[in-house]
Amino acid sequence: MLKEILSGDSCAACRVCCVFDREDSWEMPLISPELAEEIKRETPGVKITRTAGKYGVFEAEYGEDGLAECPMLTEKGCRLGERKPFDCRIWPFRVMRKGNMLLLTLSPVCETVSGLPVSKISQFAAKNADKIFEEARKSPETVKAYIDGYPVFAVREV
Ligand code: SF4
């Protein structure tokens, strides 16, 4: 979906969204029970901790630099390919909630997308917002609380 505005080459050269420090550990993707089973089968040793609700999250192993790479990250990119968790498939967009509204926001961490003309980002959001909100409604655990300052590109009722 994001290929329209974010090329695979840009992601491969950056990978910032797949590396976490302790402050942004909330950004780690939520793993559905089905995907967790597949990951455990295919990559024994990867630890997934249950979070609130039915989802899990990778157990972070922080290095001396204070950073933890997602265990699905390889030299060639994400080993999950098209099976990436919802959080990763819509990144750098985030679905957030404020009151009874769902907001499609854009993380400022992705410099590539944040550097695009606003008109291009808005066009993409207008075209894909319904699909993204629909998926978020099916998995409310993936919806984050709104963070002040995140630019909002689409709004719907919960
Ligand atoms: S699951 Fe894949 S895309 Fe998502 S953070 Fe991990 S390596 Fe990156």
The pLDDT profile of the chain, 158 residues, written as one tens digit per residue, is 788 899 888 888 888 999 999 999 889 999 999 999 999 999 999 999 988 788 999 999 999 999 999 999 998 889 999 999 999 999 999 999 999 999 999 999 999 999 999 999 999 999 999 999 999 999 999 999 999 999 999 999 99
pLDDT, residue 110, reads 93
pLDDT, residue 11, reads 87
* Domain end marker among 82, 97, 132: 82
Are 98 and 132 in the same domain?
yes
pLDDT, residue 124, reads 96
Are 61 and 28 in the same domain?
yes
Are 77 and 15 in the same domain?
yes
Specify the ligand 1 atom closest to the Cα of 28: 5
Mutate which of 88, 90, 91 for ligand 1 pocket (most atoms within 8 A of beta carbon): 88
Q: What is the number of domains present in the chain? A: 2
Cα 33 to ligand 1 centroid, rounded to whole Å: 16
Alpha carbon separation from 37 to 42, 43, 56 (Å, rounded): 9, 10, 11
Residue in 3, 4, 11 with CA at minimum distance from that of residue 111: 11
Are 98 and 150 in the same domain?
yes
Cα 70 to ligand 1 centroid, rounded to whole Å: 6
Are 46 and 66 in the same domain?
yes
Which residues lie closer than 8 Å to 125 by C-beta, 6 or more apart?
93, 104, 153, 154
Cα 17 to ligand 1 centroid, rounded to whole Å: 8
Among the residues of 23-157, which ranges form H helices? 33-42, 86-90, 111-114, 118-138
Cα 134 to ligand 1 centroid, rounded to whole Å: 22
Residue nearest to atom 8 of ligand 1 (CA): 18
* Domain end marker among 54, 82, 110: 82
Domain extent, residue 142, equals 89-157
pLDDT, residue 33, reads 93
* Domain end marker among 82, 104, 124: 82
Cα 13 to ligand 1 centroid, rounded to whole Å: 14
Are 62 and 97 in the same domain?
no
Q: What residues are in contact with ligand 1 under a 6 Å CB criterion? A: 18, 29, 70, 72-73, 78, 80, 84-85, 88
Are 40 and 100 in the same domain?
no
